Structure 1
């Protein structure tokens, strides 16, 4: 049975799910995405990855700044959806929207719920040093990621896996998981189970203030911080590699041998932490392309004794 679907999503993470749903022959009657944002040096308005994908499929796109008005509810109800599919949309769906589709709304979430409910589950799992995560399809309700779970896939997190790498894998797995859930729903066989009451944690949105590297932390925590935030928004530090201090974004690191006062440059781009050290293997200067550590070192005037 073909389902009549309204899709809610914004970033690249959501694109594979939209693509798979269309490929399975379901009728996507509308896509909701965040409004275009100013981006780039010219600050031109840029449509979201989901918005651009929807237009390639000739699907109408709605970009409301809120869904809480009576008008927004009326527009959504008029679509006559069998189900809403939500993947990293970025707005909270109010009760009237959740209740409008015949089968409610299904959400694809990048964690093993109830661990890491909230906005940044992938980054938070890596930053916390988790060795496993996953992706789940759940039936949405008013609480923040509290709904019963229908399907799940578990994924190991490697010791050097970055947030970008893990996000890509979960995105692909999640797309397959969602179309399987929709297939079961279309047959009347989608079952859900309540989330456990134990083990609840929250993945707060990444704040810019926490992206700076704190060299006083143990090396393992610094390494997890770097890889969890890579490539965006990116962990960073400041150092004087020329006449003036500059901000350096770190995209990849590894644990290294060595000790010293936190922030001490031990060798090349090996930096001492509160205990142990990390080697910065991929970095990026402001306005430049990412480079390997050796290329970075060849391009600087001098190495500082320490960084902050």
Structure 2
């Protein structure tokens, strides 16, 4: 098939590689424009852009498809295109773009639709305590992840972080996509019940509120790993909690319960296992406490 790939983060790279390995002709890649990054604020290409360059595929980086010139350019590129594959692209596609390829646009979505429609389905599934998640290949339409489904694949969440699931679902989605392209099937409308929305993550959500149960805070720790990183103020210093366990022990919320950095919560103790102080590398709690004494009763905020 002659294919346009549209994606931006690492989540979209395995699909690009799988299409190339399967022998499809990738006529163009669309991705977000390079952005300033790092201390020097130099322009940095997206992971998909860098991979497409390495594969020698033409890359287009329109700022928005509200610009008629960007739409006209896409229509010219897509005039001999069979299908466009969209994975975490980051731009809204108008009807003219969705209809341009012969078979339209297929989306690799990181949830079991209709649960978690929106920008942050993987993180929202972890935060909600879902037992399973997965990938859906769907035919795109103008609604927010409302299109009919072609295929799904499930995986248990267990104790995985959002980062773990991003990597796993990216690979599962790439494999499922290749199967869908090789074995066409009828699209099935999404169920009308069970719809939930997955709005973009706000950095303010990553602040741990110790009035909540430890189980909920542990889900936040996994859900916000690797970004933006769950955090709490311990004895006047902001500390990121990158991994933690839960102890079903009585505890007063808002203070450390012992000198091993047990955090008192509304129900149980949150026991950090991997942490990061401001300006420092991530480290196990034992290493942290070798150089920083946090006695029982230290305030949390």
Which TM-score band (shorter chain)?
over 0.9
Aligned match for 1:223, one of 209, 218, 221: 218
Separation (CA, whole Å) in 2 of partners of 1:261 and 1:38: 44
Q: Say whether 1:279 aligns with 2:277.
A: no
Separation (CA, whole Å) in 2 of partners of 1:121 and 1:21: 24
User: In 1, are the aligned partners of 2:261 and 2:294 still within 8 Å (CA)?
Assistant: no
User: In 2, are the aligned partners of 1:134 and 1:153 still within 8 Å (CA)?
Assistant: yes
Aligned pairs (5 A) from 1:103-252:
103-158=103-158, 160-184=159-183, 189-240=184-235, 245-252=236-243
Partner of 2:29: 31
Between 276-285 and 254-263, report the one with greater CA deviation: 254-263
Partner of 2:102: 102
**Could you tell me how far 1:161 is from its partner in structure 2?**
1.4
**Could you tell me how far 1:302 is from its partner in structure 2?**
4.2
Segments of 5+ residues of structure 1 without an aligned counterpart are: none
- Describe the SS at the equivalent of 2:212: coil
Separation (CA, whole Å) in 1 of partners of 2:280 and 2:242: 13
**Could you tell me how far 1:5 is from its partner in structure 2?**
0.8
Q: CA deviation digits over 1:71-105, x for unaligned, max 9?
A: 11111111122111000011111111001111000
When normalised by structure 1's length, the TM-score is 0.93
CA change 1:154–1:302 in 2 (3 A) is: closer
Partner of 2:246: 255
**Could you tell me how far 1:247 is from its partner in structure 2?**
1.6
Separation (CA, whole Å) in 1 of partners of 2:193 and 2:61: 37
Separation (CA, whole Å) in 2 of partners of 1:19 and 1:70: 30
Separation (CA, whole Å) in 2 of partners of 1:295 and 1:110: 36
- Describe the SS at the equivalent of 2:147: coil
User: In 1, are the aligned partners of 2:248 and 2:267 still within 8 Å (CA)?
Assistant: no
User: In 1, are the aligned partners of 2:234 and 2:298 still within 8 Å (CA)?
Assistant: no
Separation (CA, whole Å) in 2 of partners of 1:263 and 1:42: 39
Separation (CA, whole Å) in 2 of partners of 1:182 and 1:287: 47
User: In 2, are the aligned partners of 1:258 and 1:266 still within 8 Å (CA)?
Assistant: no
Separation (CA, whole Å) in 2 of partners of 1:44 and 1:299: 36
Aligned match for 1:48, one of 46, 49, 73: 46
When normalised by structure 2's length, the TM-score is 0.96
Separation (CA, whole Å) in 1 of partners of 2:166 and 2:199: 17
Between 145-154 and 291-300, report the one with greater CA deviation: 291-300
For these two proteins, the number of residue pairs brought into alignment is 297
Segments of 5+ residues of structure 2 without an aligned counterpart are: none
Q: CA deviation digits over 1:160-180, x for unaligned, max 9?
A: 211111111111111101111
**Could you tell me how far 1:301 is from its partner in structure 2?**
4.8
**Could you tell me how far 1:68 is from its partner in structure 2?**
2.0
Q: CA deviation digits over 1:106-144, x for unaligned, max 9?
A: 000010100000000010001000001110100000100
**Could you tell me how far 1:248 is from its partner in structure 2?**
1.1
Partner of 2:299: 306
Q: CA deviation digits over 1:209-253, x for unaligned, max 9?
A: 11111111111111111111111111111123xxxx322111111
**Could you tell me how far 1:53 is from its partner in structure 2?**
0.4
Separation (CA, whole Å) in 2 of partners of 1:300 and 1:278: 19
**Could you tell me how far 1:154 is from its partner in structure 2?**
0.7
